[in-house]
C-alpha cells in the first residue's frame, strides 16, 4: 500500500514537461487507477482474511509477525527504525546539500529516487522479501541515471526518468504483489 501511494505521488508530481500535456494526464490517470486497484485489493484481502492476519503473510514485506532479522518488533524492529531514520536524514540533508552546491533543481528528484531505492535494498535483509528488493534496485538505478543526466542537455528529462519511471515501477510492483497476495488466499 505504501509503495503504491508513493508511486502515485512520484507520477503525479513529475509527469509534466517535457512530456506533452496529454501524456502527463494519461500517466496520472493510469497511476490513479493502479493506486485504486491496490487499495481495492487491500480491502478485499482484509475481508478474506477476517481482519488481515494470514499464515502466508498478509502485509507488505512478509509475515504478520515478521521474520526479518533484527531484534524484536517483527517487521518494524530496531533495524527498520535505523534504516528509515537514515533515509530521512539522507533525503532532506542530501537535497539541501545538492542545492547548496549549485546542482540543478532536477537533481532533487533523482536524489529522492536514489535514496528511496537504497532504503528498500537496505530493508531486504531485514524483511527478507524479494518484493522490496526488486523495486529497490530499480529505483536506485533510476536515481543514478537521473543524477548522471543532471549535467547533460537532457536535464529536463530527469523528472521523467527518476520520478515518473520510479513511480510506475513502485505502482507496478505494488499491483503485482497485491494481486499475488490476494490470489494466494483461500476463498471463502
**In Å, what is the CA distance from 27 to each residue of 6, 9, 134?**
15, 12, 22
pLDDT given at position 129: 83
pLDDT given at position 74: 67
Q: Tell me what the mean pLDDT of segment 53-76 comes to.
A: 46
Q: Mean pLDDT of all residues in the chain?
A: 88
pLDDT given at position 64: 33
pLDDT at position 127 over 80: yes
Report how far residue 18's alpha carbon sits from residue 12's, in angstroms, rounded to the nearest whole number: 14
Torsional sign, CA 113, 114, 115, 117: positive
pLDDT at position 12 over 60: yes
The residue count of the chain comes to 188
Nearest to 140 by CA among 110, 164, 167: 110
Residue 58: exposure state from Cβ atoms within 10 A (0-12, 13-18, ≥19): buried
Report how far residue 184's alpha carbon sits from residue 188's, in angstroms, rounded to the nearest whole number: 12
Residue-wise pLDDT for 129-143, tens only, equals: 888 899 999 999 999
Cβ contact 117:137 at 8 Å: yes
φ/ψ of residue 129, rounded to 5? -125, 120
Q: Tell me what the mean pLDDT of segment 148-167 comes to.
A: 97
φ/ψ of residue 32, rounded to 5? -65, -40
Cβ contact 124:133 at 8 Å: yes
Report how far residue 168's alpha carbon sits from residue 3's, in angstroms, rounded to the nearest whole number: 10
pLDDT at position 63 over 50: no
Question: Three cell numbers at 53?
Answer: 492476519
pLDDT given at position 51: 55
**Residue 187 pLDDT class (50, 70, 90 cuts):** confident
Cβ contact 161:20 at 8 Å: no
Amino acid at each position: 500500500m505504501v509503495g503504491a501511494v508513493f508511486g502515485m505521488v512520484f507520477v503525479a508530481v513529475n509527469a509534466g514537461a517535457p512530456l506533452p500535456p496529454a501524456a502527463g494526464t494519461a500517466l496520472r490517470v493510469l497511476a490513479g487507477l493502479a493506486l485504486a486497484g491496490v487499495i481495492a485489493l487491500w480491502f478485499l484481502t482484509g475481508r478474506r482474511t477476517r481482519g488481515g492476519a494470514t499464515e502466508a503473510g498478509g502485509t507488505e514485506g512478509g509475515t504478520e509477525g515478521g521474520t526479518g532479522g533484527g531484534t524484536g518488533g517483527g517487521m518494524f524492529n530496531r533495524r527498520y527504525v535505523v534504516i528509515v531514520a537514515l533515509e530521512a536524514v539522507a533525503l532532506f540533508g542530501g537535497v539541501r546539500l545538492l542545492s547548496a552546491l549549485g546542482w540543478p533543481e532536477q537533481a532533487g528528484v533523482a536524489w529522492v529516487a536514489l535514496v528511496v531505492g537504497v532504503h528498500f535494498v537496505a530493508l531486504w535483509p531485514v524483511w527478507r522479501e524479494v518484493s522490496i528488493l526488486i523495486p529497490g534496485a530499480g529505483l536506485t538505478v533510476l536515481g543514478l541515471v537521473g543524477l548522471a543526466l543532471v549535467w547533460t542537455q537532457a536535464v529536463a528529462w530527469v523528472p521523467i526518468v527518476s520520478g515518473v519511471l520510479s513511480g510506475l515501477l513502485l505502482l507496478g510492483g505494488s499491483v503485482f504483489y497485491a494481486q499475488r497476495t490476494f490470489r494466494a488466499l483461500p476463498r471463502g
